[in-house]
Structure formats: C-alpha cells, structure tokens
Chains A and B, each alone.
Chain A
Amino acid sequence: MSDQQIRKARSHVNQSEDLIFERSAPGKRGMALPRLDVPAVSAAEALGADLTRDDVSGFPEISEIEAVRHFTRLSTWNYAIDYGMYPLGSCTMKYNPRVNEFVARLEGIATEHPYQPAELAQGCLRILRDLERALLAITGMDAITLEPAAGAQGELTGLLVIHAHLRDRDGHPRKKVLIPDSAHGTNPASVALTGYAVENIRSDASGQVDFEELRRLVNEDVAALMLTNPNTLGVFEERIADVAQVLHERGALLYMDGANMNALAGVVRPGDLGVDVMHLNLHKTFSTPHGGGGPGAGPVAVKKILEPFLPVPAIVEEADGRLRLDTERPKSVGRVKAFGGNFGVLVRALAYILAYGPGIRQATEDAVLNANYLRAKLQDAYDLPYSTPSMHEVVFSDARQRKNGVNTIDIAKRLIDYGFHPYTTAFPLIVHGAMMIEPTESESREECDLFVDAMRSIAEEAATDPNLVKSAPRSTRVGRLDEVAAARKPILRWKPSE
C-alpha cells in the first residue's frame, strides 16, 4: 500500500525544537517566587562561603511561553494511547481515565505529608484501606502491602517475604527459585537481589511450564516457582493448581507474577489457584498512566501464613474504626521504600476500580475478546508458533516474512507508518522473531480492524516489496537511529560548546 492510501494516519507538520539549554539566554526566567516576607539572607552569609556554590553553570534560562512551547513541541513527537492502539504485549496499554488525574490532585489528597499525625491522615488511610480490600477481593488473597513502587519492586518484596517465611519455618531459606524460560527479565533479576540462585525451567510444546520437568526439579533446595499467568505467550497455565500442589508437597511456594492480571480480573482469582504470593502492576491492569516509564505501583498480596513478613508499615484498624500505620512487626522483611507506597498512583487505581465496580469483569472479557479477534484475523498472514488458546495477548512470529529478509523489528517499524505503535518485538525469548500483541479492552472494533488491515498490508509488502518494510519508518521526524554509535561513544548529557 502506498503511504497515501493509509487510512488511519497521515503525516502533518510538527515543530522543530532544540534542547532547552540551546534555547536559553541569560537573564530570562519562567517562574516568579512569592515575595520574601522575612529578612533576606545570602547563602554565603548564612552557611559560609565554603559551603555555598555559584549559580548552576549551564542551567537553562527561558521564559514561561518558551517553556510551554518547548514541552508542547516535544510532546507532539510521541505516540500515545490517547492517539490510538498501543498493542505492546505484556504492557497492558489501556485507557488512562482523566478523572483519576483529577482526584489525585485534590487538596487534601496531593497535599498530605506522610508524617502528619494519624488523626489528620484518616482520609489517606481510608483510601489505602479501601484499595487493599478491593485488590484482595479481585485476587482472592488474604493480606496485601501497597508499598512497592513498581512491579519489579513487588517481585523483590514477594521474594523477600518467601525468604523470611522459609527461614522462620525451617531455619533456612532454601537455595533457588525456578523461573520458566518465557519469563520477563525482571524475574531473574529480582531473584538475584534476594541472594537466591535462578534455575530455568523450560516450556512444553503447548507453551506452558513443562509439568514433568517441574516434578523433577522441585526438591528441598527450591524455595519457589515464579510463574507469570497467563504467561508471556498469552497462554493460561491450565495446570497451575497441580503446579501449586507439587510445590506445596515439597515445602516450596508458588509466586505468581501478576503482570498479566488483565486477563483474569473478575473471572478467576489467583488465590483460588494455590498461589501463595503475587504482585500486581497497577500501571497495567488498573489503568494508572505509564507516563513514559512510570511511576508505577506493585502491591504484593499473600496468603495468611505470609502476612507477618510483609513490609512495614502496615495499616491497622483500631477498635473504634480509626486507622493507623503500624511499624511494630517483628517478622517483617523491613521497609522497601521510604514513606510508604506511591500514594498518588494508588489513588488513581482505586478511582479506576470504583468506576467499574464488579463490572471489571467486562473489561477482562473485552481484552480477551480483542486479542482473540486479532488472532483470528491475522493467523493466515503470520506464523502462530503456539496454537494453544490465547487469553489477553497473542504471540506471532516473523517466520514467514524472514524468508524475504523482513524481521519482527522491520514489521514493527512499518506499523508506525500505518499510525500504530508497534507491538512488543523479540519477546518472549522462546519465540524466535516474536511479535507480541496485546490490544487491551480499550480498543473498539474499528480500531482493531484498522490494525488488522495494517498488519495484513505489511505482510503483503514484506512479500512483494521487502525494502519498503525494511526502510520503515518513513513518516517520522527521525529515521532509525544509530544505536551502535550511541552505545560505543555514549553522549549522556548536553555540554556547552567550547
């Protein structure tokens, strides 16, 4: 298809903009401070000259309007969910409701200090308590901490809890954690931080954990299995309850990475499947904005037996119904972040849950419906390495296009010209040339159809005009960047020219 025929998008002029330091001119500023109502003091006078500095050399000097234009121009160079489908597999790029932003900024919510007395923090604590209850209802677990700042920190926290529990139970924490070969990289990295060794367990022909291999591997050295469910192929681990049983019989625990909870919320509760510990990514399933890479929140939910080991502080309810933070937990793994969790993110997640109520199940159903719709409409154009049923995402491979020299990255880049953000490329590692597509529930049938048209058209281009695909994107401000040069001679900051 010629670029003029693409229906979803066409290019338009956007503004150029230099680095903010290059726009700067001495003597300008973009913000006035309140008038000083006490006697002025110079820093050198108050602190002594040896403790003070000159102005921050090279710092920007621009007016308010220039700042507004600078950041507005930059913003127009980004793709965003607000533009259209963002089908990154395992990232759950769904609509971020604006009311969530509004309530997180309210006076009395955004303005509160973590050390203010509990009697003046009841509103904040009530929000946390209400979110805890909702997440426990959704996961079917018994206790929860909202403290971890992101999914990876949730993983670390969950593993620390397992470590502390085993040491408390047996006197030693055991030695290793099993991780499927399809796992996200944070899993092994989190395991390494807890001092456990990582042992990989392979997937079987259906893309699920090889159950017989698991039986062979679980022994008294194994502390836990970390399982993403549905896994990164978008496949539900059908034998998860049996997996839990094998682990439990041998004194090990089942950790569920809840990155893909968007396939389960309201339909099945991990707590019912034998899961002992799990984390949630509120910036995925619960719609808090990704913001270009955070902030997130990674609450960790556990079974009753693990509750004493959760991080401090915990929220406790007094007999009179008042809430307070409790740090007296002798078996706790400690603190994973100062000042409790990412409260502003937690506020947004609760606002999301309140908007749906029990209807969150409909969101899950639509997410799974969309993924299966894309699968049905694309499986004759792209190789489907695992034919096991898909949940909320589907993983194709570039096997057919590779014969013409076109790989998953080329197809991804070409999608940009069609007005879409690419899917996740080259992950999971067990699929060569993976194309991992997660539409989420936020996409209409029309948007799904446009995506199908784009993908089918690119498949055709790959067969008839592979160079067109390999030279994509053609419509962007910059073409493919020289990442090799960037890594060989890193330039990580601006410096004034000499």
Chain B
Amino acid sequence: MYPTDFRYTKEHEWVKLDGDVATVGITDYAQHELGDVVYVELPAPGTKVEAGQAFGTVESVKSVSEIFSPVSGEVVEVNAALSDHPESINQDAHGAAWLARIRASNAKADLAALMDAAAYEAYIAEQQEEASA
C-alpha cells in the first residue's frame, strides 16, 4: 500500500526524491479520512516553502486540511490537472494525484526527520486505534 521509496510526515504527506526535486502528495490514509476531495489549492511555482510549513489546502465538502511541506525549497511545478479533477486524489493519491514538485534545498536533513513506509503504517495503525477508542 505505502511505497517504500517514499518518506512520510505525521501530517500524512508523502515525499519522493528524484535528484534534488521532491514530489509531494497526501497519503492514501489522508484522502480516506478526508472523504471526497472537491478542491485543491496550491501555491504558484516559484513560491519558497519551509519544511513543516503549510503551503496549500485540500478540501472536502465540509472540511479543509492544510498541506504541510515535508521539505524546504522552492516550488517548481504544481499538478495543474487537480484543479479540474480533484477526485483523482481519492483515486490515486500516491501516483497521478501528486500535488507539487519542490526543489529541495536541504533534502537530506529534511527527509531524515521523516518516517519510512513501515514506520508510517505503524503510525496510522496507532491513529486508528485512538480514534476508535
């Protein structure tokens, strides 16, 4: 379910590094919790972001979730297809529905602070347990 070449945040973003460019999205767990996504708001390319800082939002009919950047750097591209097809986040959160590509300025350190797939799966299991308690 959760690709092993991704890293994950506690706020349920994933990040995948290719060279110094980090592709960022929200996890399948996050899209499931959010329900049907109706709107995505993303920054303009060129925007500087800090690791841990909110840089966009994902909305369902009755909720808004902020997206926190897993890395520091500069946004180089956002997924324009999402403005017409926000539902693709519900269909393919780890693939076609990536949100942004960020040229990371300190990728190594940023990624070192994140979870790998196994740790993330354990983390969400814990979250689910808490919710049903």
User: Do A and B touch each other in the complex, judged by CB within 8 A?
Assistant: yes
Instruction: Determine if B13 is an interface residue (Cβ-Cβ < 8 Å).
Output: no
Interface residues contributed by chain B, number (CB under 8 Å): 8
B43-74 CB contact bits vs A (8 Å, 1 = yes)? 00000000000000001110000000000000
Instruction: Determine if B38 is an interface residue (Cβ-Cβ < 8 Å).
Output: yes
The secondary-structure label for the interface of chain B is loop
Residues of B within 8 A of A488 (CB): 38-39, 86-87
A462-498 CB contact bits vs B (8 Å, 1 = yes)? 0000000000000000000001100110000000000
List the count of A-B residue pairs having beta carbons below 8 Å apart. Answer: 13
In the complex the two chains form, what is the Cα distance from A487 to B39 in whole Å? 8
Instruction: Determine if B36 is an interface residue (Cβ-Cβ < 8 Å).
Output: yes
In the complex the two chains form, what is the Cα distance from A30 to B59 in whole Å? 43
Residues of A within 8 A of B61 (CB): 483-484, 487
In the complex the two chains form, what is the Cα distance from A483 to B38 in whole Å? 9
In the complex the two chains form, what is the Cα distance from A278 to B59 in whole Å? 34
In the complex the two chains form, what is the Cα distance from A488 to B60 in whole Å? 9
Residues of A within 8 A of B38 (CB): 484, 487-488
Residues of A within 8 A of B39 (CB): 487-488
In the complex the two chains form, what is the Cα distance from A489 to B61 in whole Å? 12
The secondary-structure label for the interface of chain A is helix
In the complex the two chains form, what is the Cα distance from A484 to B39 in whole Å? 10
Residues of A within 8 A of B60 (CB): 484
B117 to chain A, nearest CB (A): 29
In the complex the two chains form, what is the Cα distance from A484 to B60 in whole Å? 8
In the complex the two chains form, what is the Cα distance from A78 to B61 in whole Å? 23
In the complex the two chains form, what is the Cα distance from A483 to B61 in whole Å? 7
In the complex the two chains form, what is the Cα distance from A487 to B86 in whole Å? 11
Q: Which residue of B lies closest to A402 (CB)?
A: B132
In the complex the two chains form, what is the Cα distance from A488 to B61 in whole Å? 9
Residues of B within 8 A of A484 (CB): 36, 38, 60-61
In the complex the two chains form, what is the Cα distance from A483 to B35 in whole Å? 12
A403 to chain B, nearest CB (A): 10
A367-404 CB contact bits vs B (8 Å, 1 = yes)? 00000000000000000000000000000000000000
Residues of B within 8 A of A487 (CB): 38-39, 59, 61
Residues of A within 8 A of B87 (CB): 488
In the complex the two chains form, what is the Cα distance from A101 to B36 in whole Å? 44
Q: Which of B82-98 contact A (CB under 8 A)?
A: 86-87
Residues of A within 8 A of B59 (CB): 487
In the complex the two chains form, what is the Cα distance from A31 to B84 in whole Å? 44
In the complex the two chains form, what is the Cα distance from A369 to B87 in whole Å? 48
In the complex the two chains form, what is the Cα distance from A483 to B37 in whole Å? 11
Q: Which residue of A lies closest to B90 (CB)?
A: A484
In the complex the two chains form, what is the Cα distance from A487 to B87 in whole Å? 11
Residues of A within 8 A of B86 (CB): 488
Residues of B within 8 A of A483 (CB): 61
Residues of B within 8 A of A (CB): 36, 38-39, 59-61, 86-87
Given contacts A484-B61, A488-B87, 6 further A-B contacts (CB under 8 A): A483-B61, A484-B36, A487-B38, A487-B61, A488-B38, A488-B39
Please list 13 pairs of residues, one from A and one from B, whose beta carbons are closer than 8 Å in the complex, sorted by A's number: A483-B61, A484-B36, A484-B38, A484-B60, A484-B61, A487-B38, A487-B39, A487-B59, A487-B61, A488-B38, A488-B39, A488-B86, A488-B87
Closest 5 pairs between A and B when the two form their complex, measured CB to CB: A487-B38, A484-B36, A483-B61, A488-B38, A487-B61
